[in-house]
Every structure is written in C-alpha cells, then in structure tokens.
Amino acid sequence: QVQLVQSGAEVKKPGASVKVSCKAYGYNFTKYVMHWVRQAPGQRLEWMGWINAGKGNTKFSQKFQGRVTIIRDTSASTVYMEVSSLRFEDMAVYYCARSRVPITVTTDGSAFDIWGQGTMVTVSS
C-alpha cells in the first residue's frame, strides 16, 4: 500500500530547530519528488519546498530559503525536513506529500497525490 508515515508531534522553544521525518512505503522511492507543506492554525496550506528523491537536489519557496533543509536517505526510503531558528509563527502541522508524476516525466508541474498524516510542531517558551 502506497503511504507516507511521518514522525510524531514536537514541542520546541523559540530559536531551536525541529526535524521531521517522512517514510515512504509501497512505491519506488527514488522515482518521485517529495514536497513539504505546512498549515498554521486557521491558515491556508503553504508550500515550503521539494526534494528530488533520486538525485537529492532541492528547491524551496523563497520564504523558507536558508532556514529549511530537506534531505533524503534512500536506504531508508525516508525524507527529512528541518526548520531552524524556530519562531512562534512556525507553529503548524507539517505535511510531506508526493508528486503524482514520476521524475522521469517532470520534477515540477505535478499535483500531490499521496500525503503523510501530518506532524504538529508547537513552538512555546
């Protein structure tokens, strides 16, 4: 069964970093791009960036460039997303989501067909 399973909820202090994992099951991990999307309370979904799970190259929203890191471990079929210098406004549910179309076709220009269950990140002093 194709699914993405994320790590559990996190509570962090302002200025700290948080690392969220996303493990893929049921498909060829290196053939697809993985995205990260977050949703703050009462806010719209916000795309953060993606990683080409095959080559490992990344692309980010300008808003998150320099503060967000995305890496992958192909042996574990897992993607990791780290946010540094956390602020109160980073409190959100973070989702990983797979591109519907394989990398062989495109890296951009694909909707997101499989989503993780979400990881709540709380930022509190």
Partner 1 sequence: EIVLTQSPGTLSLSPGERATLSCRASQSVGSNYLAWYQQKPGQAPRLLIYGASSRATGIPDRFSGSGSGTDFTLTIRRLEPEDFAVYYCQQYGDSPPYTFGQGTKLEIK
CA distance 27 to 1: 8
Residue 17 or 117: which CB sits closer to partner 1?
Answer: 117
Residues forming the site for partner 1 (CB under 8 A):
35, 44-47, 49-50, 59-63, 95, 97, 100, 108-113, 115-118
Torsion sign over Cα 38, 44, 48, 50: positive
- What single DSSP character describes residue 32? S
3-state DSSP call for residue 111?
A: coil
Beta-bridged to residue 46, according to DSSP, are 38
Answer whether 120's CB lies under 8 Å from 20's CB: no
Nearer to partner 1, 29 or 64 (CB): 64
- Work out how close the CB of 75 gets to partner 1 at its nearest, in angstroms, rounded to a whole number: 26
Structure-token match 């897992």, residue found: 78
> In angstroms, what is the minimal distance from the CB of 15 to partner 1?
26
Provide, rounded to whole angstroms, the least separation between the CB of residue 33 and partner 1.
11
Minimum CB distance to partner 1 smaller for 29 or for 112: 112
The smaller minimum CB distance to partner 1, of residues 29 and 60, is found at: 60
Q: How far is the CB of 95 from partner 1 (least distance, A)?
A: 6
